[in-house]
Amino acid sequence: MEKYERIKKAVFPVAGLGTRFLPATKDIPKEMMPLIDRPLIHHGVDEAVASGCTEVVFVTGEGKESIRRYFEPSELLVSTLRERGKEALAAKVESIHELAKFSYAFQEKPLGLGHAVLCAEEFCGGEYFGLLLPDDVMVAEPPVLSQLEAVREKYGYSVLCLEEVDEKDVSRYGIVEAEEVEPGIYRVKALVEKPSPEEAPSRLAIMGRYLLSPKIFPHLKNLKRGAGGEYQLTDAISSLLREEPVYAVIYRGRRHDCGVKEGWIKATVARALEDPELRKIILDTVAEYEKI
């Protein structure tokens, strides 16, 4: 039997417009919005690195230069911090560009997630890869990408990340029809992108972490426009299913959907509550305003 190779490559689609946060995202990419002291995208990269990835590609679009700058060395800032004796901060900033080997693919137009992934084909070089949607901030131990990897190690093939959602929310996600092969692990039978509650085959929704087979690429190339007039990754995975199996797992952990204001606020509060100093600030503030 061939030796099992863990994935090394992580793809981050970051070409979206961030309309839900306008005007805040007029001049900064939504992926650069801070969650406490790190931009959202940094949280995703940390998860990929903690899952063993050493190479990252950002599929970027117009106006996303600050993401590239963020992951480049900032010698001036680091030396200024050192001159001022702020060694811990200098080390924190310096470590960012050392997290992984970063590269960039350009998506000229936001034509959908399927199209974004296709832009990363060259980077993936025929290997299995991780796909992380940075809007979904996952708090989990082991990291969610590692949880998917454990399923691939056992069953092989692509692995999707699932959460059971309320019926009213199925139309926000890709939904799978699947057969449970052991508690929490499924073999996918069919997928549908953003169905109405009547059309949805289940309430098992795909979340923003994927482990994908390189065989996905020909299916991405043959895609026709799907839901919302976009090239949908979900449709390419449906097509891949005719060639090889696809598995899925209900992840263990918590997800914050930072693509919407409610989720971003919740994530900020939840993260702050984990830090003893910030926890006090949050609780004191709530107590103070409750009285008004």
Contact pick of 14, 207, 246, 249 for ligand G1P (by CB under 6 A): 207
Q: Which is nearer to ligand G1P, 32 or 113 (CB)?
A: 113
Q: Which is nearer to ligand G1P, 124 or 204 (CB)?
A: 204
Contact pick of 29, 61, 174, 226 for ligand G1P (by CB under 6 A): 174
Contact pick of 193, 220, 256, 272 for ligand G1P (by CB under 6 A): 193
* The two three-digit tokens of residue 174, written as one number: 């890709």
Q: Which is nearer to ligand G1P, 47 or 193 (CB)?
A: 193
Q: Is the peptide bond before 13 cis (omega within 30 degrees of 0)?
A: no
Would you give the DSSP letter of residue 64? -
Which residue lies nearest ligand G1P, judged by its C-beta?
Answer: 174
Angle at CA 163, nearest 5°, toward 158 and 165?
A: 140
**Beta carbons within 10 angstroms of residue 117's beta carbon:** 25
173 touches ligand G1P (CB under 6 A)? yes
Q: What are phi and psi of 263, to 5 degrees?
A: -65, -40
208 touches ligand G1P (CB under 6 A)? yes
Residue with tokens 């470590």: 95
Binding residue count for ligand G1P, defined by CB under 6 A: 13
Q: What are phi and psi of 39, to 5 degrees?
A: -65, 155
* The two three-digit tokens of residue 130, written as one number: 């991780």
- Looking at residues 216 to 245 of the shown chain, list those that interact with ligand G1P (rule: CB under 6 A): 232-234
* The two three-digit tokens of residue 95, written as one number: 């470590």
Q: Per residue in 225-242, is it b (16+ CB within 10 Å) or e — as a string? A: ebeeebbbbbbbbbbbbe
Q: How far apart are CA 210 and CA 31, in angstroms?
A: 18
Contact pick of 55, 121, 136, 235 for ligand G1P (by CB under 6 A): 136
Closest approach of ligand G1P to the CB of residue 173, in Å: 3
- Looking at the chain, the number of H-run helices and the number of E-run strands are 11, 13
Q: Which is nearer to ligand G1P, 53 or 192 (CB)?
A: 192
Of 103-111, 122-130, 146-154, 204-212, the segment contacting ligand G1P by CB under 6 A is: 204-212
Closest approach of ligand G1P to the CB of residue 131, in Å: 10
Q: Per residue in 275-284, is it b (16+ CB within 10 Å) or e — as a string? A: eeebeeeeee
- Looking at residues 101 to 120 of the shown chain, list those that interact with ligand G1P (rule: CB under 6 A): 113
- Looking at residues 30 to 69 of the shown chain, list those that interact with ligand G1P (rule: CB under 6 A): none
Where do contacts with ligand G1P occur on this chain (CB under 6 A)?
A: 113, 133, 136, 173-174, 193, 205-208, 232-234
